A and B are shown apart, each in its own frame.
Chain A
Amino acid sequence: MADDVLLRAQGVRKSFGAVEVLKGIDLEVRQGQVVSLIGASGSGKTTFLRCVNLLEEHDGGEILLDGDPVGYRVEGGRRRRLSETAISAQRARIGMVFQQFNLFPHLTAEENVMLGLTKVLNKPKAEAREIATHWLGRVGLAERRGHYPYQLSGGQQQRVAIARAVAMEPRLLLFDEVTSALDPELVSEVLGVMQGLAESGMTMLVVSHEMLFVREVSHHVVFMDQGRVAQAGTPEAVFGNPESERLRSFLGRFHGMFGMV
């Protein structure tokens, strides 16, 4: 058991009504690693990320961040749900970037990045603005800091959303198909930003259908199928030696598109 494990999921289960969507997920993300989740639509990738960030509550198993259970504490052998304040504090340590960007529509790019810094981390306005300027610069949007979301392209909005998430200095960043809602020509600008973050040592858990990117950037790839981890390993192993027919056929869909695997 390496002690640099940042996120450990063990036997995570989650049902919506009678439908079990996660059927016991085991997964580890080490400090500084990029772990990618791949799998067909409906296999539970989004649900898993949402459980990690407490946007959903898992029903069974455990999710540990830095060794602390996410969403509850154990008291006298029993699980007790954390208070809303404690849950908010846990969420602040995990950043999330969504498929639909979800920028606050009433705030400029800069204000979007500043909001969490001033309200959650209680930083003074001036410092928050400096941090926002820095991160908007890093994602190539220094010039657009005064723009509202509706004045930005999808790719620019997504880069602001990434800046908003990293500016909080989270321990872990979650990405849920962040390029799926983008026009094809805007995908690479966002992937470029993510690659830069990965190279700078950010710990990332990424759901993506961009197989070239996944293969190039990930330390570890997890293939999910119908609520289970069907195969996991290095990109070479998963892409080069798919064990199951389902993984082979899943990857096969990307063949023609990229001429790879």
Chain B
Amino acid sequence: MKTPLFLIIILMAACVYAQDASIKKDGSTYSIELPAVRPELKPGDGKERTEAMCNICHSLDYISMQPQLSRGGWTAEVNKMINVFGAPMSEDDAKVIINYLTIIYGKKD
């Protein structure tokens, strides 16, 4: 049986529609573009230093998504970033950042 022309056109349109334009194929190369996103932190003393340091390796939503941690909890996180991942930070930076995180993203008690 012959497929009616209008059906072919509808099917072709559906195919084009189903193709995801968010990945590009150029010959044998597949590419995506990531959205430009830059989450920010809440205002507070030390925000600028925290944003500058904690944005180097990952976005700042790594901080804002966390539950409210105690001072000990935030100190452990910042120490982990320094000792395990090599965050390039002075002792003074660490002090200011831990204070900021505890006050702004810490447990209220």
A-B interaction: no
